[in-house]
Amino acid sequence: MKKLNTLVCIFFVLSFLIVDAACAKSLILHNATFYTMTGSMDVTENMETVSAVYIQGSKIKAVGDDQTILAMRKPGTVVINLEGKTVFPGFIDPHTHLFNGAQPYFDYNTLDRVQAMAVENGITSFGNMYTDQEWLDFILAYADKGRVRNRVFLYLNFNHSCGDVFGNWYEAYAPKEALAHNIWVNGIKIYAERSVCDGFSSRPVFSDDLKENLPEDSLYQNSRLHLSEDELSAVIQRADDLGYQVAIHAMGDLGIETSLLAIASVLEGKPNINRHMILHNSFLRDDMFELYENSDIVALIEPFSRCELNTYLRRGIGDDNIAYYKRWYDLSLRDIHMALDSDWPSYGEQTINPMLKIHAMVTGSNIFTVYSGECDEPIEEQTLEVLQCLKMMTIEAAYALRAEKKIGSIMPGKFADLVVLSQDPMMVDLEDIKNIKVLMTIINGKVEYGEYVNGRLKMYHFCSSKRSCTPSISDSHLRHP
């Protein structure tokens, strides 16, 4: 009977796509484990799960057990039996360069390609963390063609990674308002330190304490801040007054400390309602943790274990500075918001894969090819729990993007952004997490990617509204199943 239902479903999906007439208005996914991600960050807490979800249009209408949800079925509802698979809220990657970092630049097909890659990896929303006027104009023109599939949150650059100041041009684009279909401006990007500039690597800025540990010929001896604490405060103040979030690139302990103090001086003890955040957070001293906590500053971290250290050591970080590096576990012990990003493609193409990210974070090994040969043994210090990683890729990442009321968990009223996985990352051996596959990705109630349903249907589109029934790469496949 189960098989018959699936076949009927396939036929139904195929038939309305082929005739390209009406779009189904509702979708039921059932017989699965949906982790709702509505609990706290407490890793000992039992995660709430449901077995079925009812989607109407772009939103989740109801969650519950199969019996309750299947009873909501109406004529025209598409029903998909997920046959025991695992479902999470769509993955959210708050710090990427998917739009500005993929080559060839300024090419619509490139943006199509990276979005397809994101969707195939279960990513439903992302932050684009470098957007100058030229890129903004290009992205908006692309969006006008109706080609943006993910939710994209733009960060407009106050300055360049080399330090050139672009200034307050961003003020022409109001924060939080949709600039185009699926495109929002969230805030501004500030480089506190030099990042990759003219082909040379980033230059973390260290305090005197850590500088003492640098070899004399270290690349980092001459690292300088782009902005003093007062200058940074002034930039943050202006953005904060206008409702923009600031996202500050800072890796060295002095760069981070300056950023933390500048944000604190703007907030003056008030809540961090604009979610000012720091990217990278690579080198931290013990006395800095309470600065995050005191101002509730959001920390975005990368999915690379300390296995990357050898690269830094070669560039002259000094053995005694290793202890300060990538203290993700120490950060996780504090009462702050943390989210996991990829900074794609800075650390290689593979970092878009959410399962490789979790694998690196929980095992302390880096199997990303960009690190091949970097470390023989995993470095287990500072690793995190699987659940923490999943939270940091869903509800906590939504918080970092100021969108936690709309996305990041599976509950009625939220947008239906979901990812179906081949296995449950919380149930398999840590080593096996890297082998888990994304089977289906749903954004706005629309199946944007799927290679599931008895292995017979590789990809298809589910249309939640007539307007969204645009032709896609899947159509040709569908017509010749």
Which C-beta is closer to Zn ion: that of 97 or that of 446? Answer: 97
Least distance (Å) between residue 75 CB and Zn ion? 48
Identify which of 295, 226, 299, 228 has the alpha carbon closest to the alpha carbon of residue 266: 295
Least distance (Å) between residue 129 CB and Zn ion? 5
Helix residue ranges, H only, 283-332: 289-295, 309-314, 328-332
Which C-beta is closer to Zn ion: that of 15 or that of 311? Answer: 311
Which C-beta is closer to Zn ion: that of 344 or that of 462? Answer: 344
Phi-psi domain of 107 (left: phi exceeds 0; alpha: psi -120 through 50; beta: other): beta
Least distance (Å) between residue 97 CB and Zn ion? 6
The answer to whether residue 397 forms part of the interface with Zn ion (CB under 5 A) is no
Which C-beta is closer to Zn ion: that of 111 or that of 439? Answer: 111
Per CB under 5 A, the list member of 93, 120, 343, 396 interacting with Zn ion is: 343
Name 312's Cβ contacts closer than 8 Å, sequence gap at least 6: 325
- Applying CB under 5 A, the span of 72-80, 335-343, 364-372, 436-444 interacting with Zn ion comes to 335-343
Which C-beta is closer to Zn ion: that of 36 or that of 128? Answer: 128
Q: Map the footprint of Zn ion across residues 86-145, applying CB under 5 A.
A: 129
Which C-beta is closer to Zn ion: that of 157 or that of 207? Answer: 157
Size of the site for Zn ion (CB under 5 A): 2
Contacts 24+ apart (CB under 8 A), 268-274: 271/296, 272/296, 272/297, 272/298, 274/187, 274/239, 274/240, 274/243, 274/244, 274/245, 274/246, 274/402
The answer to whether residue 308 forms part of the interface with Zn ion (CB under 5 A) is no
- Applying CB under 5 A, the span of 28-36, 260-268, 322-330, 341-349 interacting with Zn ion comes to 341-349
Least distance (Å) between residue 127 CB and Zn ion? 9
The answer to whether residue 302 forms part of the interface with Zn ion (CB under 5 A) is no
Rounded-to-integer distance, Cα 50 and Cα 298, Å: 30
Rounded-to-integer distance, Cα 182 and Cα 134, Å: 19
First to last CA, the chain: 23
Identify which of 291, 289, 298, 294 has the alpha carbon closest to the alpha carbon of residue 331: 289
Q: Which residue is nearest to Zn ion (CB)?
A: 343
Pairing mode, strands 33-35 and 26-30: unpaired
What residue ranges bind Zn ion (CB under 5 A)? 129, 343
